[in-house]
Structure 1
């Protein structure tokens, strides 16, 4: 449980951790090669722990210390992914492409993770099938075979991050070129393509596609994970919602462009440097319209904390969720804190209120948890947030970093990493 005594403007600076959504596919990319892979700027998160457990279970040896992973392969890999680990985290499904490309077969259960709509994996399977994989789905498992994947042109009906990453991973060892049309262009996907290029696959981006030239075998590499734009955005919103002054360092400001535009529209004073962004908020924010979109649009992972921020804005705000069909697990809890929010299909109509009141709340997923923490920071009285295991899946040292910003916040049990 996280306990917050609200009403304190935040001030100070924090440094962003490495991006969870870049670290996870990078860890799974190590399955493509028998050579050592070293990853640095790796965040200390429950989901990273799960990814490390998974590649260990498949046959890798992993040394993890102080934000650095060294992944080696002491013996043969297993083509069968443990059900308990894959069902714990949706990103675990990304082992399918590397195992299939490397071993010619894979058995992977359908994934788990946050309860955010249905989030199907049909685009993953359709793409792998186009590369020549024979696939069967039986009793919650995917059974895949392919003596040698063949590069093809694959069109994605939607620019899915997971499907783009799956096909990049598989294409790295496929024969010939794999062209992915309408790919996701999130910074984390581009970061994966940089790692694959370092391993020996040639990846190039064009206006409407990304093309990977498969290699017969891949080498080892050292790769630095990019900063976490979602964590950075969450801290900027924390500064804004508490009418404080917060600077987030060690980031890539252009990755936050959509959020920064909306913060300025709401009346937040935003300043940027080469690797930092600061916000200053001395008055009530103004209501704005927000619609989540694939990158470079407004990120769906920042929709829940943005809703908390806009619940205290003057006037009305309309927030539309266009990426996931049911990402509103935070709304009921915000209503209990005094927010005025009405759902209209895929949109939320938010009428700003003068203040929120602390109460006991429960996080339903990673970003809903962040939204409740932000609401608690701005609320009158004490807020308790249960379900913090969700939060520790996606935020490294959240409570410690907020305390550094002078928040009155405590946790009953934190996250520990090797």
Structure 2
């Protein structure tokens, strides 16, 4: 008797644990932009130096080393700037390590697939659970060479992971590689350099409850006035008391602005991040804060009510109302989206589709049940071989991110989301 994959127990998805809103600096003067660039470049250089030290420490890092790094940064910035830099450095190292582990798992899956297919006779057909042999002797020989390449790559990565060695490109690997393909990117060297410097700036300050307006480093008042605590070497740029620089531009946060104003008026912690959009010539500020996760209703209560099953497809969400036994009732609904084009276009398509789905579910007092999909293993090129269009189709489907975004948007509308096994 063959082993049967167990069906995972469905669960009610939790709501968001944080909020982030963004606004544009309006009427920013040339002096304001110059000060922001100077501060961001200075703090960015400190962040790069601290990240190098954190990566060099690897798994041997401890709280004493963290304190030493913070003391060294405080001399050239301030205690709060140093705290934000060291925290961001540790988060960056942890993110790189998680990505490294995910890549190792992907290589292991690819090696296992190639090894299995090489063990089969050439031309043998596969099944739904496992791929078959390779189509020709030429492809079989090419895969033996690729197997050796993946094994060497996996060995290097495993050695790095054992000692905690990670590799991080500040500014992004994609933008770094664009430097060697400026004609294809339709950029000049000066334009690329401007974007590179903008991506490597550091203007992020963690919030602190009890301090004026929830943040002592980047302070924004309820009426939108923005002031920044200048690092010690740039204190000569101050235009206000206590080494602060007050921007001419103001912000209002149109989306969820009332929530933000309530927090800053009560001196509750709000974190800020300032960045420059070089392509559009704009500056933005992002405010973020944590919120208690929404209380979820018991699964038994959800099953007793009306549920709509949602199936994720390549170009649409298929929805069908279900009775208490899981049988479809009435006519199905279809919510289309187009995942071609830029990432901004795809993101907007997903948001618009989920908005229509949630509004429809709220009008009919429905609970949404969606598949808990994960195409990490299925998207590997080794499993589907020459089926490039199919691999691209699977890789482009928003599975885990769609469910997380759906849960976050549903919490705002009071709609319950249940994640169920795809089977």
Determine which structure has the larger strand proportion and give its number.
1
Determine which structure has the larger helix proportion and give its number.
2
- Same structural fold, with TM-score higher than 0.5 when normalized by the shorter chain: no
Q: TM-score, normalised by structure 1?
A: 0.25
Larger Cα Rg: Structure 1 or Structure 2? 2
